[in-house]
Structure 1
């Protein structure tokens, strides 16, 4: 109550004591402002302590905001392990009349084996066989094949249906766990002992 009486007395004479610093009976100092307001006068040590406290509070708030932002980002974009995408196109060097198969292609549980190449009547001839490893019957298998000479010049590119059942005749479907001879691939290219060859399965139709 004393402080309010003292301040009231001082403020009534603010025209004389404006912006003056006065001491209270308990030793604290009060600054009287021109706009009829007042404020405690802090000593340098007290002011420094207040500033340090404010700085600490601001640092804690900034750290909390940053931690919250990081947590939200971590929830929004979780790390996910993925399996690399396999390139279905396979390339190799074909040696005419070699004793081993040229290559094997796989797609959707269907394996296409392209056999040993031979050259006859102006054509590179490659036999095929189809194995159905899937759980469904296969009615069509289409592959894309390309042939290049050894310098990389393209000689031929064709889409070949190596397996085709007869429409609406279930007996001609390639059943699961069955293997059959496929269509022979014939490509009109200049004769050579070796070629660069690539192939991929374009489509497998099942029923």
Structure 2
């Protein structure tokens, strides 16, 4: 019998762990070390790519929060012109007392339409399309009646006013209405994504 095989007893008679007994803690550490990769692997989080808005045809494109520079310029022209029409309404009311309800009322609607359309364009409100269309119609009607109901010097003044103010403003409001309608239609349809483009090529 070797020395390592001899039993070792303590003062109280209890057996002490021999060399074989001291190997148990190392066995426990090895087991814990073997389980560590499994615990680390279970804690890993798998991140999947999330498609951005507008990447596929089913996701609508994000609408710009701010109006373009052209839209801001058009809105400012409308606001300034609508504000300048207020003193013109006073002049018409004082010089044409017999036609105050007809002409002053029409010009008042034009001023309200220009100011309202300008504010809606700056806010990119969906109602800017019908507001601009209605304002353009009012300006065209005003220019028509001014030129067809005047004669002499009044006709010359009506033609100049139509060429300088009413018709250009009507064209501006019409352009704003068409552009806003196209933007809203494009936002509802959304861009054509890679999947729909590939499907179209396969069908072709």
Give the TM-score taking structure 1 as reference length: 0.31
> Which structure: greater helix fraction?
2
Larger relative contact order (Cα-Cα within 8 Å, sequence gap ≥ 6): 2
Give the TM-score taking structure 2 as reference length: 0.31
Structure showing greater Rg: 1
